[in-house]
A and B are shown apart, each in its own frame.
Chain A
């Protein structure tokens, strides 16, 4: 899934219709990887960005780079494209020198052309690329022509000019001849199934040109009119008899305990098989922090277009992982892998594993039954809110022993949650198909997927469980609790959101106990020089800010994503009103993402991450009762709006000679903690459970 598997320059960069075309298996989900790849290629070849395209990502054409996740796109795909471009540059220099009959040292690259400096003879790179062998191998030891950032002019984002005119095509906008629109008719909740179909109504729908498909409890409608299909789906849902099994409503946090968990000692960010660390005795301070089930909550409900033609399933999907999805869909339908072709077409921002894969499979189920007809399936808003895989509810128990100065001598952290890994990756026991929603409802239903422990370094719930601080002793435990009421998977940051919320709140509680400044307390236990630089820079910027007014508070937090990627320090100023509403006033972000590829894109990710983190912190939680999910729209699941977005100042530190670090998930987690810490400064109320709604703040005040 990298240069080893795709070792040729032409796997990543080639000439296509007179333009430079970059291939990548990473999909653009609004994180601007396309823009970053264009910039990387542009920087090496000197060709203007508007001469370079990024090809569509298609399972039978692009490099298989697995899943676009974990803030890895620039580090993986970016490195490959960069090395391919550097290799290509050397080859172009050689070819140009031969053609001009000069020495390769005598030529230079500028504006997409190669020039012989002495004679000013020029050859356009595009004209020379035809002569490059398609078998040219990437020199993996090549050094980049431009070791540091070069001026890149005004911000540029691929697709932006089309977006403002409504000309950017999302999967929802696909419109093909003879295409049918489709909706899935869903049970009231995940434990319910279809007992009785209203056949008279189905016949009536058939007479009006709609097709009703049933496979066990999987029920769908397809027809030529989108609006009529939507209405029919709602009516059919109400006319069906569904089994009445209750959804469990007991307190999920009460089940996030060691007794219910499969437990692993985590050492250096990696879970270990074997004995658990001994319990820390006689702790000086302890606290528990909790995060509820939360949504990806994409602005556009998931959608997909599928067609079964010539014994091949053609699917257009906004999935982040079209390669594993292809395998799991083929397995589910009894097809050979090569008989499923998936093309990535943009959806709205997804922030992780949302309903995209499930919608693609459902469109395929329908298309398989109605051959030679494109099927455009769109989920409803309620489908997306109630049926996407949620971020799991999570609890983090922290405890510490302190020295006389209040610094931590021994630290213990227990993280509890269900799996963060529900993507339809193929695996033993049909693990891929089991993670596609509708396989639970077909005639031969599969049991809900039970999460297995992710043992990877900085994987699921133990992402950022290991503190970045230099505590002399640490005991870290991952506690996987399965059998909880909701299907869960990866949401931006995975476990880091709860782990950093916990750690950075805990640090604030301890520095208050020790009567220390929040910066000094952290810096006194933090050796990593680049982390110190970020915090020191933040400290200097905060010192220049006006002192918070009465009723206002200022909180800070720090984190390095996965203890290996972008370092982020955040300061938040906010007000807690008399009604216990939190009004954000200002945010300052200092970040070190290493070598910067796309400055504006990096800032956009940090700002957007702050706003999503603030939305999780203040508003978001999935609610349900025995009848099903209650949070089924934007009223019952409120999110951040324009009215509470503060001015955000972003400052980037770019040390020399360091590689790029992923930044897409770096800022949300410290944002949550900075807000919690600021709430304490403003109100003297410590909030340890998200979201920090007025009710939660008042409850926390009463609990103290």
Chain B
């Protein structure tokens, strides 16, 4: 089946099983490998992308649900001023160890700050509740988000 998807500002025609979860389409059909799959169960946040500006998990939801929506992946996040600032802030705070959770966290942080938030620690923590980090970079991630939010 052929589907039309808007990803990082470009329209893509894709032929695939429409029930395939979005993350597999991004990674395999479009070779956008920055979106990570950690569980396939919507439990860890590694696969977060932006859908119409909101954080959405992409490892389980069928690709057909994303037709007609604006999808932004980690590869496209840096194109916005806020996204680029979040990326710089993560680098400045070395807010990663292995980096597997980083894509999802950068995406989530970009959505948060784009929404005018990110300076209130409790609010940020709540927004990141669905994101797991096993290396323990949490304090640095929180600092990075505050750094990027304050610069906004």
Binding site for B on A (CB under 8 A): 29-32, 154-157, 159-161, 163-170, 172-173, 175, 225-228, 230, 297-301, 346-349, 351, 380-381, 600-601, 604, 607-612, 633-635, 639-643, 645, 647-648
Contact = CB atoms under 8 A, between A and B. Distances in A.
B45 to A, nearest CB: 9
25 contacts: A30-B135, A31-B97, A155-B94, A156-B94, A163-B90, A164-B96, A165-B34, A166-B35, A168-B102, A170-B100, A173-B27, A299-B46, A299-B133, A349-B98, A351-B134, A604-B137, A607-B136, A607-B137, A609-B136, A611-B136, A612-B134, A633-B39, A640-B138, A642-B138, A643-B126
B124 to A, nearest CB: 8
Nearest to A32: B97
B17 A348 contact: no
Nearest to B21: A227
Interface stretch (B50-58, B70-78, B111-119): B70-78
Interface string B32-62: 1111111111011010000000000000000
B97 A30 contact: yes
B3 interface: no
Nearest to B103: A166
A351 B100 CA distance: 14
Nearest to B97: A30
Nearest to A611: B136
Contacts of A641: 129, 131-132
Contacts of B99: 30, 159-160, 163, 168, 348
Nearest to A350: B98
- How many residues of B sit at the interface, in one of the four size bands? 35 or more
> Which 3 interchain pairs have the tightest Cβ spacing?
A166-B34, A608-B136, A611-B136
B97 A349 contact: yes
Contacts of A172: 36-37
Nearest to A30: B98
B125 interface: yes
Interface residues of A, dominant DSSP: loop
Contact of B125 (A29, A297, A642): A642
Nearest to A318: B98
Given A32-B97, A157-B94, A642 B131 contact: yes
B149 interface: no
Contact of A604 (B46, B128, B140): B140
Nearest to A639: B132
B110 to A, nearest CB: 11
A185 to B, nearest CB: 16
A297 B133 CA distance: 10
A297 B135 CA distance: 10
Contact of A633 (B31, B37, B41, B125): B41
Contacts of B124: 642
Contacts of A634: 39, 41, 43-44, 132
B142 to A, nearest CB: 7
Given A173-B33, A608-B135, A380 B40 contact: yes
- Which of B86, B96, B106 is packed against the most chain A CB atoms within 10 Å? B96
B92 A348 contact: no
A541 B93 CA distance: 24
Contacts of A633: 39, 41, 43
